[in-house]
Structure 1
Amino acid sequence: MAELLLLRRKPRAVVFAALRRALIGAVICGAIVATAAGCASKPDPESTRADLSEVTEAPMAPEEIDEYDATLHPDPMVDAVDCTPYLVVTSRGTGEGASGQLLSPVVRMIAESRPDEVQTVDLDYPADAEVKIGATRGARILIDTLNVQADACPEQRFILLGYSQGALIVGDAIASPEVRLIGASVGELAPDAAERVLAVVLYGDPRFRGAESYDVGDFDPSVNGVLPRPAGSLDAFADRLRDYCVSGDIVCQSGFDLDESGHVAYYSNGMQQDGAAFVITRLGPPESAEDDAAPSKGRTPVGGAEPDESD
């Protein structure tokens, strides 16, 4: 595979560029090629855009809002999962199934970089045309998941990945309730949970804001997404966030004269590898490397004095 162009508008560190090239060379052929060849179902950009636009129209019925209201229903909707070093939460796009998701190769590359240290949870939400109620459920479950895990697993760190409607959910869940379009009443991340978020990677984000420092791609910075978030809404996560958008994406670039194929370009334009590389650069050293570096019990560290065996 040819070396990818660096798409971010600001220069990246040399180590990041080198790691990205290494990842590209190590991409699992089955996952990427099958998706690029059309074997996996891809969301329809035009219908996705129409479904998302309805979010700002008629309000949800009170009973639908109440179902996920954290004040009315404070008990978490999820149980804790295992305390692995890293928990990756994926939030798929509208119409994507359980397999062949845009985010699947991203997760695979992250997991392969840290064998036996990564657990993945696919967000339990419908990802269908009923964006208001479905995305509200997604935001509540994402917030509950991170808060529950922060309580149960003091050392666990979180990686959040979202595509299309899933990117809307992730972005709104980590933002303050007053700037959300969905899930204003579903609660907030506890401060400890928010601190544990190690990396956030979004693709084709409906709430894309074209002038943010964490944006990545060949988009027009003067053009926002179909449902742009207020400027600065995600400043607290800016150094941990990459929001990928290409110029032909009618979801993150909301003009009407753009090529509809842009919203599915992320399946084959190298941004999956780029996002995975960004996450991996933010991970600590593998546990096995830390174990190898630690001095063995009863042995003298290099450069240290011999142990006193008189006791």
Structure 2
Amino acid sequence: MRKRKGSASRRLGKVALIVAFLGLVAVALVAVLLFVLLKPPPPEPGGKTPPPSSGAPERPDTQPADCSDVLALVVPGTWESKANDDPHDPTANKRSLMLKVSSQLQEQFPESTVDVYTVPYMAKFRNPANLGDRQATYNTSRAQGRKRAEEKIAETSEHCPLTKYVLMGFSQGAVIVGDIASDIGNDRGPLSAQDQDLVLGVGLIADGRRQSGQQHDVGPSPDGVGAEVSLGGFGSLVPGTTMSGARSGGFGTLADRTYSICAKGDLICDAPTVTAPLKAIGQFADAANNPVHAMYATTRYWELDGAPATEWMADWAASLINRQN
């Protein structure tokens, strides 16, 4: 009886050893499998290892046939647009400054190459110094213009992921376009960080949040700042007319693609030091009609190589578009 008991113990010991061995083999196989699955890919020629994926979806190689190569988004200035205007055939103000730019692009390029889209918005500025002025406030107008411009960019990005962008604006429209460009360049939207390269250029004429040196200052450029920067310290002193100050982060990654035009003496983009803010805001509201601000389509107050601001911007935009063909 004792002998049988010893034999059984030895058999159990052997079984335990076999089970332990098989367990070690299994662990080793799992370790090898994990190593194979998780090891980095082989280096590219030249010894460089591909960077890790950011997790963002890859840009497709094609897009729908109804997409243009470039979206030229244009935002007119104060009193140069209406909320119900036709974005492809704007008629709200035939003397609109930006119409001199957009019409040239429409004549030069087919729609398949460039979708010239003029953002329709109320384009108002209630003068707080005039109690009889009952038009929409600057804040309301600016918010509508920005919302509509951002919606157009976002819709285009979703439907046409390969379409590129040229963004342009004048006066209140320049503030809107500049704010959107600042958001894009600082990863705040409406384009994702990986799509910032799709922005070919940003063109601003008489930007109310202008700061010298924050972008390419084109041609003769004064050292002053925009009215909203000059009055930024007073913030919302006047209801409905918020002076937003300088743009946080400037234009970020788009600074090298942003071009600003400002004529000396234009109070919208070349504002003086302010001592009486309420009076100054009224003066800035009237400045939209002053000769300097109203004549960027002529060479009287600003010109570069004989070209007025509108001609320079149209040629600049066309050169960007032509490089894509």
TM-score, length-normalised on structure 1?
0.57
Partner of residue 315 from structure 2, selected from 277, 290, 309: 277
Q: How does 1:133-144 map to 2 (within 5 A)?
A: 133-144=140-151
Deviation at 1:217, TM superposition (A): 3.8
Which 5+ residue runs of structure 1 have no aligned equivalent? 1-79, 288-311
Q: Does 1:108 align with 2:103?
A: yes
- State the match for 2:228 in structure 1: 227
Compute the displacement of 1:152 (Å). Answer: 0.6
Q: Which TM-score applies when normalising by structure 2?
A: 0.55
Structure 1 match to 2:71: 87
- From 264, 272, 277, give the equivalent of 2:294: 264
The percentage of counterpart residues that share the same residue type is 25
CA displacement 1:233-284 (0-9 Å, x = unmatched):
1132122221100102110011279993111121212111111222222224
Corresponding residue of 2:261: 244
Q: CA deviation at 1:212?
A: 2.8
Whether the aligned pair in 2 keeps the contact of 1:138 and 1:169 (CA below 8 Å) is: yes
Corresponding position of 1:60: none
Shift of 1:102: 0.6
Q: Check 1:233–1:213 CA distance in 2 against 1; reply closer, same or farther (3 A cut).
A: closer
Whole-angstrom distance in 1 between the partners of 2:247 and 2:117 = 29
Q: What's the offset of the Cα at 1:214?
A: 0.8
Q: Deviations along 1:98-134, whole A, 9 cap, x unmatched?
A: 2331111212223333334222222132101211122
Q: CA RMSD in A?
A: 3.0
Distance of 1:135 and 1:278 partners within structure 2: 26
CA contact (8 A) 2:215 2:260 kept: no
SS of residue paired to 1:268: coil
**Which runs of no fewer than 5 residues in structure 2 stay unpaired?**
1-63, 82-91, 126-136, 230-245, 273-279, 300-307
Aligned residue type for 2:117: V
Q: Looking at CA atoms only, which structure, 1 or 2, has the larger radius of gyration?
A: 2
Contact 2:150–2:180 under 8 Å retained in 1: yes
- Runs of 4+ in structure 1 deviating by more than 6 angstroms, as ranges, are 256-259
Given that 1:212 and 1:232 are in contact with CA atoms closer than 8 Å, whether structure 2 keeps it comes out as no
Higher RCO (CA 8 Å, separation ≥ 6 residues):
1
Identify if the C-alpha distance between structure 1 residues 175 and 90 changes in structure 2 by more than 3 Å, giving closer, same or farther: same
Q: What aligned pairs does 1:77-226 form with structure 2 within 5 A after superposition? A: 82-97=66-81, 98=92, 99-116=94-111, 117-129=113-125, 130-176=137-183, 188-221=190-223, 223-226=224-227
SS of 1:267 mapped into structure 2: coil
Q: How many residues align?
A: 201
CA–CA separation in structure 2 for the residues paired with 1:194 and 1:81? 23
Closer, same or farther in 2 for the Cα pair 1:160/1:89, shift >3 Å?
same
